[in-house]
Amino acid sequence: MKASHAIRAVALETGLSPHVIRIWEKRYSAVCPTRTGTNRRLYSAEDVERLLLLREATQVGHSIGAIAGLPTEALRKLIPPIAVKEKGRLEPLASGHSDEFLDGCIDAVQHLNARKLERILGEAALFLGTQGVLQRLIAPLAQKIGDLWRDGTLTAAHEHFASAIIRIFLSHSAKSFVGVAGAPVIVIATPHGQLHELGALLVAAAAANLGWSVTYLGASLPATEIAGAALLNRARAVALSIVYPDDDPRMETELVQLRHMLAEVPILVGGRATPAYAATLKKTGIMPQKDLNDLCATLEKIRASGTIS
């Protein structure tokens, strides 16, 4: 079978990051891609199917180390009947549209229904893949919850409820993407006065999926504490989520102080309120991130080159 799929195309197809694909190949011999004359990996359609099956199997509880060597036919038998193989892809038998998942999650949050929220997140992970569930469900879910909180439809209790459930879900999902020793460290938090942490949780999961070792500090941390954690852990990057408010008079001081204490460490900032602090970000050289895609691309550059300008 001709091998013609580059690793980035395989990552898009399977929902696995290039880092995870390489680890599963090197550590577990899950697939054996061919190499071009310039040593680039090329994957066959069978390789792509195996990676899809392995992803699905790990997300329902199987250990990658225990199943990586199984024949493809045996892997197919591990997958629940909610998914079928069609033209090299795993497609849900149910509709599985991300907007339906989003509506269901919002309803679960409004009614503080933990069991329903957990079930929908689990189903979405199977249908959309790890990167897909982050970008197509949890990111818009965090934004929607913020919108509903601002217009008074949801209370702070609803947001704390959602954050707790999503934190557990993301922690469980990240177990399939354990980094190797010496993985670069990223410190993630929200600055002092920023109490909404769903965005930061999302960034933590995305970074773990890309092979980073995540030190997650939580919400509303002073610049001195964020910098101290970054220096203690020799972090290669710091990521902050800024959601609300967008007119905090303390924010400029916090960001300037953080940049002063971490002069050589890339600092990334994302979230709904980020554009409101554009002048401060430009002055300090802190890098605004438009969305999760942008942030993932930036982290890949930092990982590849050690830093970015």
Tokens of 285: 């050289």
The tokens describing 199, both together, are 């965005």
pLDDT at residue 175 in the model: 52
The CATH classification number of 3-89 equals: 1.10.1660.10
Span 40-52, average pLDDT: 89
Better-predicted residue by pLDDT, 230 or 91? 230
Tokens describing residue 102:
């989003």
* Nearest alpha-carbon partner for 211 in 109, 302, 97, 118: 302
Domain-wise residue ranges, the chain: 3-89, 98-174, 180-305
**Per-residue confidence (pLDDT) for residue 94, from 0 to 100:** 39
Q: What is the DSSP letter of 236?
A: S
Instruction: Give the pLDDT score at 174.
Output: 56
Span 110-146, pLDDT tens digits = 999 999 999 888 888 877 777 788 888 998 998 899 8
Distance CA 216, CA 228 (A): 13
Partners of residue 35 on adjacent β-strands: 41
Residue 6: which pLDDT band, with cuts at 50, 70 and 90?
A: confident
User: Which of the 8 DSSP states describes residue 14?
Assistant: H
Query: Is pLDDT of 309 > 50?
Result: no
Rounded Cα distance, 159 and 149, in Å? 8
Q: What is the mean pLDDT of residues 291-308?
A: 84
Whether the Cβ atoms of residue 51 and residue 21 lie closer than 8 Å to each other: yes
* % of residues, the chain, pLDDT over 70: 88
Say if residues 10 and 51 touch (Cβ distance below 8 Å).
yes
Superfamily of domain 180-305: Cobalamin-binding domain (3.40.50.280)
Bridging pattern class, strands 287-289 and 267-270: parallel
The reported pTM is: 0.63
What CATH code is assigned to 98-174?
A: 1.10.1240.10
